[in-house]
A and B are shown apart, each in its own frame.
Chain A
Amino acid sequence: MDERLAHLRVRPTFVDRVVRLLAVAYLVALLAAVVAYKGAFLDALTTDPWFTAYGIVVSTYIVSRFAFSLFYRTGKDRGMEPHVAIVMPGFNEQEAIGSSLRSLLALDYPAHKLEIVAVNDGSTDNTLAEMRAVAAEADGRVQVIDLGVNQGKRAAMAAGIRATGAEIIAFVDSDSVLEPDALHRLVQGFADRKVGAICGHADVLNLRESWLTKMQGVRYFVAFRVVKAAESIFNAVTCCSGCFSAYRRTAILPHLDWWEHQTFLGRPSTFGDDRSLTNCVLRDWKVRYEATAISHTIVPTTFKQFMTQQLRWKRSWTRESLIISTFIWRKKNPLASIAVYVGAILPLVAPFIAVRTLLWQPIMAGAGFPAIYLLGVYAMAVAYGLYYVARRPRYDGLWVYGIAFCFFYLFFLLWQTYWAIATARSSSWGTRPATAGMEDIPVMTAAERAAVEERRLVEVAS
């Protein structure tokens, strides 16, 4: 396996087990307290209906995510080994593309059933040569497609899909590292003929890099293990992350042209390819999440990069929320539909509630310090952190970054929503990523990569 993942192979000690047990108890008590609190103030619905309803909806949403995720079961190993093609577009990535492709070849999956489609999207560096070099050593398992001129990520991905006849098409972000059995684990769910796409799990690879990556570490963990798991029990995962996911070929083919040339308000949709493709499949197929198919991905390390990424995600979220709203109710699963609509409306309402509670009421209405509101945010944050503690084999202090993230979200990210909506037509990437995958990952220079690498090795060694 990739040596970069070595440090993750640790076994829990007795103390870890006890701490996890305590965290579970604490989490249950906390969620119960939230429910009790909401119950105690239920009558406020008659006097302050909008604000109270918002509070109840938010807490119900969060508590229900945790509750539903308890029913999530990982896919059984059914010995599925379908023919898989991993499509990896590349744009000006000469440093990384070679090792990325080689790590895919080394996956624990039957060689004759795994092909790699590398698409050069008009790179101006040696990316194409690197791809060809890997292809030359791979006995024809790597197919190289050259688009000649830069046509954009979707065009590159679509070209890759069209070039292969494999039953299952997988996408792996070139900044992601897969665990050896990840692909095998991922495709097991396709044993169900109605499953059209499966989303793998993504952890943060450059976890220790900065406070921002630590926060994202907890966030990714919860976003996948709780939110996607909760969506998965209704077979309605709303976004198969570009980090690592797989689609049934027959599920995407009918939508391929539309998806490649998707426009929004008259402009081509350049990002949000993963959420958009998921939406295409979700109309007629089941879409699941597989927690045991684990990838490790590099996330933005600086505030600016992170904010740019989040803005882009929110723009595509705006577009795709509108699309999913038109059909999700037809899936005839009220719980899944309600979750989608609530998930689409809450971010729109939240900024107003925050302004009202944090600014308007204390300043204009003399309501004093908004202790209760902040305590609610804190409770949500601690719940996420505790979940992280409860589900990780080893205890580490990182979970407090989950708390920090919720406040970071409140003070920075919450306010992006309307800006993102106002600029939803924009097709600017902010930072033009060179790789397929999670929409945004900013390019790391070779030196940065080396630094990350080195730090991790030091950590593993110590």
Chain B
Amino acid sequence: MNRLKRTLRDRVRLLLLPLSVAPFIAAGPAVMASHDRYLRKHDSGPLPAPVVALSAAEQQRFAKLPAAPGQVPVLVWHGIRNGNDGVSTTQRAFARQVALLKHLGFTAISTRQWSDFRAGRPVTLPARPILLTFDDGWLDAYRGADKVLARNDMRAAMFVITGAIHSGDPDYLTWSELHGMQNSGRWDIEPHAAEGHRQITAAPDGTQAPYYAARKFTRSQGRESLADWERRAGDDLFALRKTFEAQGITPHAFAVPYSDYGQGVRNDPEIPGLLANLLTRQFGSFFVQSSDAAFTTPGRGLAQRFELRSGIGLDQLYAWLRRHSPAASSTAAATAPQRARPAVRKERTRAHPGRAQHQRVQRKRAHRKRAHRSHARHPRNTTTKR
């Protein structure tokens, strides 16, 4: 009996060996996370630009286009990363796109220049100005794009989600990185949303809609009133402006999350008009994007961008540019730097609610499913200008 007990005890003690592995397994995720944090902190600089050159055939195919005086094309990308997630562009594809723009004689302008151009203020623009923008404030966009832009003497604007920045999500740029970008003179930092870059429930059947684009439905309260919607959207935009102010950054334009300001009429036909008004008053201009956007012209409110999603080739980019450029006959006239004419229309331009349905970005990145955590919102501030 004693012997059996001792054997049993010895066998149980053997379990101590496998048991000792438990803390390593338990701490495994923490170690991985710390390594991720470490990489985020120390391996987050710009990546070298890939060497891309347009082939002779391409250079021939993509003939120089006539300048379009008084118009500025605007492009938008999201992330720069490998993997075909529908939204991001690979660094190589991006480099080729920028090389094409360079080949076509485009010069990237700052958002300040663009807003002066929009407002009809006197501003000297290059012969073929273009505005390059990125939405969301992804780290990978900066890492992949920065050296490419530098190599081609280009610059770009990054539209950031301040809520995502504050969430500490490692996939997003931090404020210190954004300030560094701004100080490099290659980047402008512009607003995209505070907490409002997410979906809300818009109907009892669970239909989802972008945060700003619809009245919110909750089981307990039902559908919020239009006044509540306005307060919710207004508060978020106010918080956004406050954050930018606190960071010492002046916004020149706003990029509408999901390119949806309600123009498709989600659950209230009043929203597109109200929101367009609100955004125009707060930011002067607001961007939506599509695969066939018009070039921007002086004015206020809605402005369009051509969206470069995954897999958009040089041919598509070139085709879009050509489609909106003036007819080839006027090529000769457009070599001298253009001076923007003062805006003719002084009245407030209301956004065009009847514009055709814009394609919405399906921002379902499998690897970035992390919802923007909703942090303590800015306390309701009744002084919000409406």
Q: Residues on A close to B: CB < 8 A?
A: 15, 19, 22-23, 26, 33, 37, 40-41, 43-44, 46-47, 371-372, 375, 378-379, 382, 385, 389, 395-397, 399-400, 403, 462
Q: Counting CB contacts under 8 A, is B344 at the interface?
A: no
Closest-CB distance, A5 to chain B (whole angstroms)? 21
Q: Counting CB contacts under 8 A, is B369 at the interface?
A: no
Q: Which chain B residue lies CB-closest to A397?
A: B13
Q: Counting CB contacts under 8 A, is B382 at the interface?
A: no
The reply to whether B20 and A385 form a contact with Cβ atoms under 8 Å apart is yes
Residues of A within 8 A of B245 (CB): none
Residues of B within 8 A of A47 (CB): 41-42
A395 and B14 alpha carbons, distance in the complex (Å):
8
The reply to whether A399 and B16 form a contact with Cβ atoms under 8 Å apart is yes
A389 and B13 alpha carbons, distance in the complex (Å):
12
Closest-CB distance, A276 to chain B (whole angstroms)? 39
CB within 8 Å of A: which B32-65 residues: 34-35, 38, 41-43
A371 and B35 alpha carbons, distance in the complex (Å):
13
The reply to whether B30 and A372 form a contact with Cβ atoms under 8 Å apart is yes
The reply to whether B20 and A382 form a contact with Cβ atoms under 8 Å apart is yes
The reply to whether A375 and B17 form a contact with Cβ atoms under 8 Å apart is no
Known: A372-B30, A375-B31, A378-B23. A397 touches B41 (CB 8 A): no
Number of interface residues of B (CB under 8 A): 20
Closest-CB distance, B26 to chain A (whole angstroms)? 9
A37 and B30 alpha carbons, distance in the complex (Å):
13
A43 and B21 alpha carbons, distance in the complex (Å):
28
Residues of B within 8 A of A44 (CB): 38, 42
Q: Counting CB contacts under 8 A, is B347 at the interface?
A: no
A-B Cβ contacts below 8 A, count: 49
Q: Counting CB contacts under 8 A, is B27 at the interface?
A: yes
Q: Counting CB contacts under 8 A, is B183 at the interface?
A: no
Closest 4 CB pairs of A and B: A397-B13, A375-B27, A371-B30, A400-B16
Closest-CB distance, B14 to chain A (whole angstroms)? 6
A361 and B21 alpha carbons, distance in the complex (Å):
27
A396 interface neighbour in B13, B21, B41, Cβ under 8 Å:
B13
Q: Counting CB contacts under 8 A, is B10 at the interface?
A: yes
Residues of A within 8 A of B176 (CB): none
A395 and B104 alpha carbons, distance in the complex (Å):
77
Closest-CB distance, A429 to chain B (whole angstroms)? 38
Q: Which chain A residue lies CB-closest to B41?
A: A47
The reply to whether B17 and A19 form a contact with Cβ atoms under 8 Å apart is yes
Q: Counting CB contacts under 8 A, is B2 at the interface?
A: yes
A190 and B29 alpha carbons, distance in the complex (Å):
53
The reply to whether A403 and B24 form a contact with Cβ atoms under 8 Å apart is no
The reply to whether A41 and B38 form a contact with Cβ atoms under 8 Å apart is yes
Closest-CB distance, B252 to chain A (whole angstroms)? 35
Q: Which chain B residue lies CB-closest to A398?
A: B13
Residues of A within 8 A of B30 (CB): 371-372, 375
A372 and B28 alpha carbons, distance in the complex (Å):
10
13 intermolecular pairs with C-beta atoms under 8 Å apart: A19-B17, A26-B17, A37-B31, A371-B27, A372-B27, A372-B30, A375-B23, A375-B24, A395-B10, A396-B10, A396-B13, A397-B16, A462-B6
Closest-CB distance, B42 to chain A (whole angstroms)? 6
Residues of A within 8 A of B14 (CB): 15, 19, 395
Residues of A within 8 A of B10 (CB): 395-396
A396 and B14 alpha carbons, distance in the complex (Å):
8
CB within 8 Å of A: which B1-23 residues: 2, 6, 10, 13-14, 16-17, 20-21, 23
Closest-CB distance, A372 to chain B (whole angstroms)? 6
Residues of B within 8 A of A372 (CB): 27, 30-31, 34
A400 and B20 alpha carbons, distance in the complex (Å):
9
Q: Which chain B residue lies CB-closest to A40?
A: B35
A33 and B25 alpha carbons, distance in the complex (Å):
13
Closest-CB distance, B236 to chain A (whole angstroms)? 27
The reply to whether A462 and B27 form a contact with Cβ atoms under 8 Å apart is no
Most chain A CB within 10 A, of B10, B20, B31, B41, is at B20
A395 and B42 alpha carbons, distance in the complex (Å):
45
Residues of B within 8 A of A396 (CB): 10, 13
A23 and B13 alpha carbons, distance in the complex (Å):
14
Closest-CB distance, A215 to chain B (whole angstroms)? 15
Q: Which chain A residue lies CB-closest to B13?
A: A397
Most chain B CB within 10 A, of A37, A46, A371, is at A371
Closest-CB distance, A359 to chain B (whole angstroms)? 19
Q: Which chain A residue lies CB-closest to B43?
A: A43
Residues of A within 8 A of B6 (CB): 462
Residues of B within 8 A of A23 (CB): 17
A40 and B36 alpha carbons, distance in the complex (Å):
11
Most chain B CB within 10 A, of A43, A47, A395, A397, is at A397
Closest-CB distance, A403 to chain B (whole angstroms)? 7
A389 and B17 alpha carbons, distance in the complex (Å):
9
Q: Which chain B residue lies CB-closest to A37?
A: B31
B24 interface neighbour in A22, A41, A379, A385, Cβ under 8 Å:
A379
A310 and B21 alpha carbons, distance in the complex (Å):
31
B17 interface neighbour in A22, A40, A371, A379, Cβ under 8 Å:
A22
Known: A37-B31, A372-B34. A462 touches B41 (CB 8 A): no
Additional A-B contact list (7), CB under 8 Å, known A41-B38, A47-B41, A378-B23: A19-B17, A26-B21, A372-B30, A389-B17, A397-B13, A400-B16, A462-B6
A458 and B13 alpha carbons, distance in the complex (Å):
21
Produce 1/0 per residue, B207-243, CB < 8 A to A.
Answer: 0000000000000000000000000000000000000
Q: Which chain B residue lies CB-closest to A368?
A: B30
The reply to whether B20 and A395 form a contact with Cβ atoms under 8 Å apart is no
Closest-CB distance, A218 to chain B (whole angstroms)? 13
A41 and B14 alpha carbons, distance in the complex (Å):
34
A54 and B16 alpha carbons, distance in the complex (Å):
31
Residues of B within 8 A of A26 (CB): 17, 21
Residues of A within 8 A of B38 (CB): 41, 44
A183 and B31 alpha carbons, distance in the complex (Å):
49
Q: Which chain B residue lies CB-closest to A23?
A: B17
Q: Which chain A residue lies CB-closest to B29?
A: A371
Known: A43-B42, A44-B42, A400-B20. A462 touches B13 (CB 8 A): no
Q: Which chain A residue lies CB-closest to B3?
A: A462
A389 and B2 alpha carbons, distance in the complex (Å):
24
Residues of A within 8 A of B41 (CB): 47
Q: Which chain B residue lies CB-closest to A30?
A: B24
Q: Which chain B residue lies CB-closest to A385?
A: B20
B20 interface neighbour in A41, A46, A403, Cβ under 8 Å:
A403
Closest-CB distance, A71 to chain B (whole angstroms)? 27
Closest-CB distance, B8 to chain A (whole angstroms)? 13
Residues of B within 8 A of A378 (CB): 23-24
Residues of A within 8 A of B27 (CB): 371-372, 375
Residues of A within 8 A of B23 (CB): 375, 378
A403 and B43 alpha carbons, distance in the complex (Å):
35
Q: Which chain B residue lies CB-closest to A375?
A: B27
Q: Which chain A residue lies CB-closest to B31?
A: A372
A342 and B38 alpha carbons, distance in the complex (Å):
27
Q: Which chain B residue lies CB-closest to A462?
A: B2
Residues of B within 8 A of A22 (CB): 17
Most chain A CB within 10 A, of B17, B31, B34, B38, is at B17
A22 and B17 alpha carbons, distance in the complex (Å):
9
A331 and B122 alpha carbons, distance in the complex (Å):
80
Q: Which chain A residue lies CB-closest to B9?
A: A397
Residues of B within 8 A of A371 (CB): 27, 30
Residues of B within 8 A of A19 (CB): 14, 17
Closest-CB distance, B40 to chain A (whole angstroms)? 12
A22 and B18 alpha carbons, distance in the complex (Å):
10
Residues of B within 8 A of A40 (CB): 35
A281 and B38 alpha carbons, distance in the complex (Å):
48
Residues of B within 8 A of A382 (CB): 20
